[in-house]
Every structure is written in C-alpha cells, then in structure tokens.
Structure 1
Amino acid sequence: MPEHEQDGQEREFDLRWADDAEHKEPSARARMLAARWKHDPPGPVPFRPDPEHGRPRRRASRSPWISTAVVLGSVAALIVLLGYINFRPPY
C-alpha cells in the first residue's frame, strides 16, 4: 500500500479514535472561563430583558411613511437629474 494512502487511513483512524473517546478535554476558552468563574462567578443574566430596555424608542411625531417618502423622493429626483443631464443639447 502506498505511503500517502496509509497516512490517510491512519489519520481517519485517529479521528474516529478521538471522537469515540470517553473523556473529552474542554477547549482552552472553556478552561479559561472555568478558572475565572471559580474565583469570580458571573452574575445572573435574565432570559428576557426588561420591557423598557428591550424596545426600540420611536418618536411619536415621526411616521415610518415619512422616511419612505423621503427615500423615494430622493430616488425620483436623482432619476430626473440624470435624465436632464443626458438630454441636454451639446454646446
């Protein structure tokens, strides 16, 4: 059997062996957090934020239609301006 095929089979065997291991070592980040939290545990984190902190604030006087009208008006003005520039008679 050629050497590169044997290396591939050995690597596949090693991966299967590692995946089937009974004890898996935690990642470096998990070990770091465990060590940090051992001396300084994190505070409780609520599942859902408070209602006043979770909602985006809107201005009562501004409607979402105003933003849409401004964007569409700007696009229309740009189209008219480009059309005017293209249809000007040359000097």
Structure 2
Amino acid sequence: MEQEMPEHEQDGQEREFDLRWADSAEHKEPSARARMLAARWKHNPPGPVPFRPEPDHRSRGRGSRSSWVSTAVVLGCVAAVIVLLGYLNFRAPY
C-alpha cells in the first residue's frame, strides 16, 4: 500500500523545485522598480551625485571656526549640566 505524503510536505517539495528552477534560469527579469527607473532614466537621466560633497576651497575661514564654536558650545552645555547636577546633589537633604 502506497502512503501519501501530507499536503504541506508536497507544497514544500514543489516550492523547492520551483526555487531551484528559478535560480538556474539564465536570464533573470529585473524588478518592477528597476524597470520603472530604467524607463524614467531613458528620457531623463539623473545627474551625477558625488560620494562626498565638494570640498570648501577656503583653507581658513568661517567653516573651520564654526566647528570650533559648535564644539565649545557642546562642551559648555555638558559642563553646565554637570555643575547643575552637582549643585542639586549638594543642596539635597541627606
């Protein structure tokens, strides 16, 4: 007497077969998004996008000063919070 396989095992085997068949295909169709972008860029290609922004040609100037100012502001805020917490801890009743 031949024993039948449960339905979920048959589905699993068929799915595995389909995946192997699909993976072995010589030509793979691009995704819908890739097809949409290819059609859009055919008539209106995107401009170049640099990996990094263009460097600032000023060697010294406002750009280098602003980084020091922002660093000083952050460190000043951290110091103020530490002093405030120390003051509140000092005034708290024991």
Q: Same fold (TM over 0.5)?
A: yes
Identity value in percent:
64
- Cα 1:70–1:44 shift into 2, 3 Å: closer
Give structure 2 stretches of 5+ with no counterpart: 58-62
Give structure 1 stretches of 5+ with no counterpart: none
Poorly superposed stretches of 4+, deviation over 4 Å: none
Superposed displacement of residue 47, structure 1:
5.2
Q: Which residue of 2 aligns with 1:30?
A: 34
Matches of 1:80 and 1:52 in 2, distance apart?
A: 42
1:15 aligns with 2:19: yes
Matches of 2:17 and 2:77 in 1, distance apart?
A: 60
Q: Which residue of 1 aligns with 2:69?
A: 62
Q: Deviations over 1:27-79 (max 9, x none)?
A: 111111111111122234445542129xxx34267373x23541332222232
Matches of 1:76 and 1:10 in 2, distance apart?
A: 65
2:28 match: secondary structure:
coil
The two structures have a TM-score, normalised by structure 2, of 0.65
1:59 match: secondary structure:
helix
- Cα 1:40–1:8 shift into 2, 3 Å: same
Q: Over the residues paired in the alignment, what is the CA RMSD in angstroms?
A: 2.8
The two structures have a TM-score, normalised by structure 1, of 0.67
